[in-house]
Structure 1
Amino acid sequence: MTTTWIDEVFGVRKPVIAMLHLSALPGDPGYDSAAGISAIVNRARTELEALQGGGVDAVMISNEFSLPYLTKTEPITAITMARIIGELLPDISVPYGVNVLWDGRASIDLAVATGAQFVREIFTGVYASDFGLWDTNVGEVARHRARVGGAGVKLLFNIVPESAKYLADRDLASITRTTVFATAPDGICVSGATAGAPTDTDALRTVKSAAGDTPVFVNTGVKAENVAAQLSIADGAVVGTYFKKDGLFANAAEKSRVEELMGAAKEFRAQLA
């Protein structure tokens, strides 16, 4: 079997990447300045323990509670995330990535600064979104990645962004094909409408069929009861909301829920051997 970058980074087939959602950061409307950054670090460390203890294959650290999101973040966001990740690094025992929502350049900068092996972002397309008109410049971002020494950072392109609609009148298969041909993503993510929302199975299958050798990740809505079905199509999964207490976005990750989903994922993967 041919070795892929997924094998090299994650060491398993069909990896499950757990989201580690950081609390609101300085500059965000929801930031708790009284509790300060130490409270963010403490919650993140507790959730990291639950995720790794529950058996996830990797973690991706994001500023998920920086709502409403910016498409070009303020410097304080990535700077604070770098401090938090620096404090967590001694405790991270699995491959890790980062995501500065919704800023591709900042995500790459953070990955280079912290040694993260992959990022996920919206790198291509123009969208009408809840955050305004959302434009991208993948050529500029690719050159920035090279300038800052990030050539080894794997880029996961989300081509079905949450809370947004592609402005061009193009079908998902053609978007996938041209994205792969013109921009050479390391992986493609397929999402539902919001964090935790189900990813349409037909959309996932369409992207997988059109992506050729480029790995495809199901990016939202993965649960213990559907992880086998989703991984039967996708090359990996990104999971956040399901791992949280009661499956609610605002809550912290809970080890028992992690174990439940990872048990189902590992049982499915065992059948592939």
Structure 2
Amino acid sequence: MTVFEELFKVKKPLLGMVHFPPLPGSPLYDAGAGMQKIRDTALRDAEALVKAGFDGIVFSNEGDRPYLSKVDHATVAAMSRVISETSATFDVPFGLSVLADPEAAVAIGAAVEADFVRIFLSWVFVGDWGIVDPDAGKIQRLKSSLSGKMKVFANISGHTEPLGGRKLEDIARGAVKFGLADAVCLAGTTAGSEIAEDDLRAARRGAGDAPVIAGTGVSVENAERMLSLADGVIMGTSIKFGRDTFKPVDPEKAAEFIRRAKDIRDRLK
């Protein structure tokens, strides 16, 4: 049994993103609307995803631009509260990411009893928010001390460029062999951008038996290709109103994608 079958009870899970509006302390935070707006947004989008039939949901502080490599206490507190309240409403597996602080993600994940976290785990990358230099040894020891059962989905590409010229296949292999990742996750150059097919194939070669997730750019139009190349997908931008990452989930688009993706998944069996 793969880690995906264990968590989601299917071989190719379809996961939907719940993107938080800017949280307290971030430059675009709506102080007038306060935490209630964030809670309402999370609940509305999670409900749309669950009703559409997604196999799980992923929470993220997407609105906290520009992102921090070390988030503040307010972010940890706000995310913990909203994820705890929202996840308790729905009986589906859930995980989270914190842009761009893997240790905070693990700490929040343990507090809210998440099933998994999506984080940068190993190797070194450079992105719009600077150098991404995770410490796999420290992160995995923190996870073991707080929540040993929580799974780690390791980002190996996306929104960043790996330093040192190392091949993606080897980064994937290192994330699993050295970083002890339970799965590897790829993304495009920006939120909503499609992942190159060659990158997905290279990740699969390097990841061995660990699942490979397509983490951005999946849509109704490319669902068959992405599901044939990846072991699971994470949906965000393409099921939002206007395909805008920072707008709400469109329930009709979410339902349309699930109908299409589940039909493809059944045929791929």
Q: TM-score, normalised by structure 2?
A: 0.97
Q: Deviation above 6 Å: which 4+ runs of structure 1? A: none
Q: What does 1:107-256 correspond to in 2, within 5 Å?
A: 107-148=105-146, 150-162=147-159, 164-256=160-252
Asked if the contact 1:187/1:216 (under 8 Å) is kept, the reply is yes
Matches of 2:226 and 2:84, distance apart in 1: 33
Task: From 27, 46, 49, give the equivalent of 2:47.
Answer: 49
Give the partner amino acid of 1:184. L
Asked whether the equivalents of residues 122 and 161 of structure 1 are also in contact (C-alpha less than 8 Å), the reply is no
AA partner of residue 198 (structure 1): E
2:216 aligned partner, one-letter code: T
Residue of structure 2 equivalent to 1:18: 16
Identify the residue that residue 104 of structure 2 maps to in structure 1.
106
Residues of 2 paired with 1:85 and 1:179: CA distance? 27
Shift of 1:172: 1.2
CA shift, 1:262, in A, is 0.8
1:217 and 1:234 in contact (8 A); partners too: yes
Q: Which runs of 5+ in 2 are unaligned?
A: none
Amino acid at match of 1:95: P
For residue 42 of structure 1, give the secondary structure of its aligned residue in structure 2: helix
2:76 matched to 1:65?
no
Q: Normalised by the size of structure 1, how large is the TM-score?
A: 0.95
1:257 Cα offset (Å): 0.5
Percent identity over paired residues: 35
State how far apart, in whole Å, the 1-side matches of 2:98 and 2:50 are.
22
Counterparts in 2 of 1:78-97, with a 5 A limit? Answer: 78-97=76-95
CA distance in 1, matches of 2:137, 2:216: 27
Deviations 1:196-242 (A, max 9, x none): 01111111111112211010000100001111111101100011101
RMSD across aligned positions (CA): 1.1
